[in-house]
Amino acid sequence: MSNKIRLGILGGGGDSLIGVLHRVASTMYDRYQLVGGSFNPSLDESIKFANQIGISTNQVYKDLDTLIEKELALPADQRMEVVSILTPNFLHFPMAKKLLENGFNVICEKPMTTTYEEAKTLHEILKKSNTVFAVTYTYTGYPMVRQMRQMIANGEIGKIQKIDAQYYQGWINPIIHDKAQRKSTWRLDPEKSGISCCIGDIGTHAFNMVEYMSGLKVNSILADLNYLYDDNQMDIDGTVLIHCDNDVKGVIRASQIATGEENNFTVQIYGDKAGLKWEQENPNYLYLLEDGHPLRVLKPGHAYNNDLSLDGTKLPPGHPEGIFDSMGNIYKGVARAIRNETYDQAEFPTMIDGVRGMNFIEKAVESHKAGNVWVEIDKQ
């Protein structure tokens, strides 16, 4: 039988983007099989969605308690082994707690909990269990992020002496300046989102990445946050001075009012031998700066990459990972044609393209061999 890991999912139904992301990710290396879950608060919706994605009705549970009860009743080698939690933030803690207490491995979307207190509680439970727990700070999976971590760990930039991380977005700009909107957005409501908006949502990404890449711990911080309006209770921008292990100083800058920015997340770490920079919006490039040498631009999939990076690369050099999505779009177009929904030449290359392509090749060789003369391409 298949040795795939039996995966369950909580949340992520309907057209949830995060649901697609986790499902596709789970197929990437042929290690998981999605066996069931609870995808929507409504059981009917959940079943409908499950069927759409090829999960049969009996694998859909009305809630987490039912899931746990039913799965625990199964023999261990048929039981769900890991559960991904993609539900709204306030459910992360209770769900993760229950799963850990019942021996399930957990993959949990960020933020892991809504308070530090909850986080510590969860950690205590994890220590007593014998399970694997992951928080999906997704960016740490990029090949060049791993390359950067490993290069630093290998001493390739020497002793770290300066850290600078930026995560700038502009999305809250149209909301924050409208009194009605800033009152009604759940992101700006402490009841729903905890004590922080900007630092909580993206500052943590930067914080996590700084520790991941540098291998250093941040020991103390000094923050200047920005709320813009007196009636706004949640930070939407902030600069945080950081002091790390080995007296390394640095800064984390996060903003949701950097108008026009999308996800401009960059990390710069400088050592006494060299510096490294990475930018999330161009994740395949890693910049290596060294005194007296030309700037070097590292890319994934090369023999010069380290093991940790290569382990995260499926494609040969020069192919952005987005080609998976490009191929996915072609498959989608074909699906539509097969199901007689649409048959749009713009959505996938048809045989005419194949025919013309072959003709082009033969004619190019013919033109060349005839002494570089014009030849006609056949009409199709």
Q: Toward a second copy, which CB reaches closer, 68 or 312? A: 312
Minimum Å gap between C-beta 188 and a second copy is 14
Minimum Å gap between C-beta 289 and a second copy is 2
Window contacting a second copy (CB under 8 A); options: 38-46, 72-80, 105-113, 179-187: 105-113
Of residues 229-288, those binding a second copy (CB under 8 A): 235, 237-241, 243, 249-251, 253, 255, 257-264, 268, 270-275, 280-284, 288
d(CA 297, CA 145): 13
Of residues 348-377, those binding a second copy (CB under 8 A): 348-365, 367-368, 372-377
Window contacting a second copy (CB under 8 A); options: 40-48, 60-68, 69-77, 290-298: 290-298
The two three-digit tokens of residue 208, written as one number? 């996590």
Beta bridge partners of 287: 277, 297
Of residues 106-135, those binding a second copy (CB under 8 A): 107-108, 110-113, 115-116, 118-120, 122-123, 126, 132-135
The residue assigned the tokens 């402490």 is 190
CA Rg value for the chain: 25
| Cα separation of the two ends of the chain | 49
Minimum Å gap between C-beta 73 and a second copy is 21
Of residues 158-177, those binding a second copy (CB under 8 A): 158, 161-162, 164, 166, 168-171, 173-174, 177
Instruction: Determine if 323 is a binding residue for a second copy (CB under 8 A).
Output: yes
Instruction: Determine if 32 is a binding residue for a second copy (CB under 8 A).
Output: yes
Amino acid at 344: D
Burial of 210 (0-12, 13-18, 19+ CB in 10 A): buried
State how far the alpha carbon of 220 is from the alpha carbons of 165, 215, 217, 232, 242, in Å.
Answer: 16, 16, 9, 27, 6
Window contacting a second copy (CB under 8 A); options: 39-47, 59-67, 180-188, 296-304: 296-304
- Residue 8 backbone phi and psi in degrees, to 5: -115, 155
Q: Using an 8 Å Cβ cutoff, are 293 and 273 in contact?
A: no
